[in-house]
Amino acid sequence: MFDYSAHPELLKGRIILVTGAARGIGAAAAKTYAAHGATVLLLGRTEASLAQVHDEIQAAGHLLPLVIPFDLESTDPAQYHDLATMIERKVGRLDGLLHNASIIGPRTSVEHLPGEDFMQVMHVNVNATFMLTQALLPLLQRSTDASIAFTSSSVGRKGRAQWGAYGVSKFATEGLMQTLADELEGVTSVRANSINPGATRTGMRAQAYPDENPQNNPAPEDIMPVYLYLMGPDSKGINGQALNAQ
């Protein structure tokens, strides 16, 4: 497990947007950020899907999160800029962006992967990530210490058979992170890095490994140290790195 112990008020005064915040790692990250003092923007497909996370943060007495229903699977480029305008109006800036939302698609060979499935996975995991990053960069650049964390995977760092579009999309995610990090280096306060969560007890993991005993894997809450580290001031100067949660 990533070795890091966070101060209870590590993220006090910070505004952090989390995609895929309704469940799994995204929900755990959102609640963890709120527990450490951040104002969290919860982005997910529908308002209803985000309600439980919103209510849990509120019930815990943390700063009230902002719910943002936004479907990365069906939205067009113009909507990303509308989203950025809305966020600017509501909170003025961003100090952190966690790209967590993704879909896995069929586990099959390149030879047999349907083209429409490939394009769908690439759209959500790569195109949407690019468009959201581009739209939100001006808000991140208003911060004196901003962080973008891209969720990657071991199959996005070393190719593996039968991982189809998902593996390709995570290689692209690493490439986007590295390109952006190099562009940001020395010219802005924004940094960009990636996180490989590893085997974690999530719905996506169960979909990929249906015969696996989920209890053998850590819960999303258990892998939060690296997520806290990258969003807080202790990681200032860390840029273009591919980190592992476990």
Strands 39-44 and 190-196: unpaired
**Per the domain annotation, does 4 fall within a domain?**
no
Least trusted range by pLDDT, from 9-18, 38-47, 73-82, 174-183: 73-82
**pLDDT, mean of residues 210-222:** 86
> Total structural domains in the chain?
1
Residue type, 172: A
Residue 109, domain CATH: 3.40.50.720
pLDDT at 75 over 90: no
CA distance 170 to 192: 15
Residue-range definition of the domain harbouring residue 46: 15-244
Give me the active site residues, please: 166
104 compared with 203, residue with greater pLDDT: 104
- The per-residue pLDDT for 204 is 77
In a domain, 6, yes or no: no
Alpha helix positions (H), 16-127: 24-35, 47-59, 77-91, 115-122
Whether 105 maps to a domain, the answer reads: yes
Q: Is the pLDDT of residue 74 over 80?
A: no
Strand order in the sheet with 66-69: 66-69, 39-44, 15-19, 96-99, 146-151, 190-196, 242-244
Within a domain: 209: yes
For 44-67, write each residue's pLDDT tens digit: 999 999 999 999 999 999 999 999
48 vs 37: CA distance, rounded Å:
24
CA distances from 154 to 28, 57, 151, 164, 196 (A): 20, 31, 11, 14, 6
Query: Does residue 9 fall inside a structural domain?
Result: no
Contacting residues for 15 by C-beta, under 8 A, at least 6 apart: 38, 39, 41, 91, 93, 94, 95, 96
Is position 1 within any domain? no
55 falls within a domain: yes
Q: Is the pLDDT of residue 27 over 90?
A: yes
- Is residue 174 a part of any domain in this protein? yes
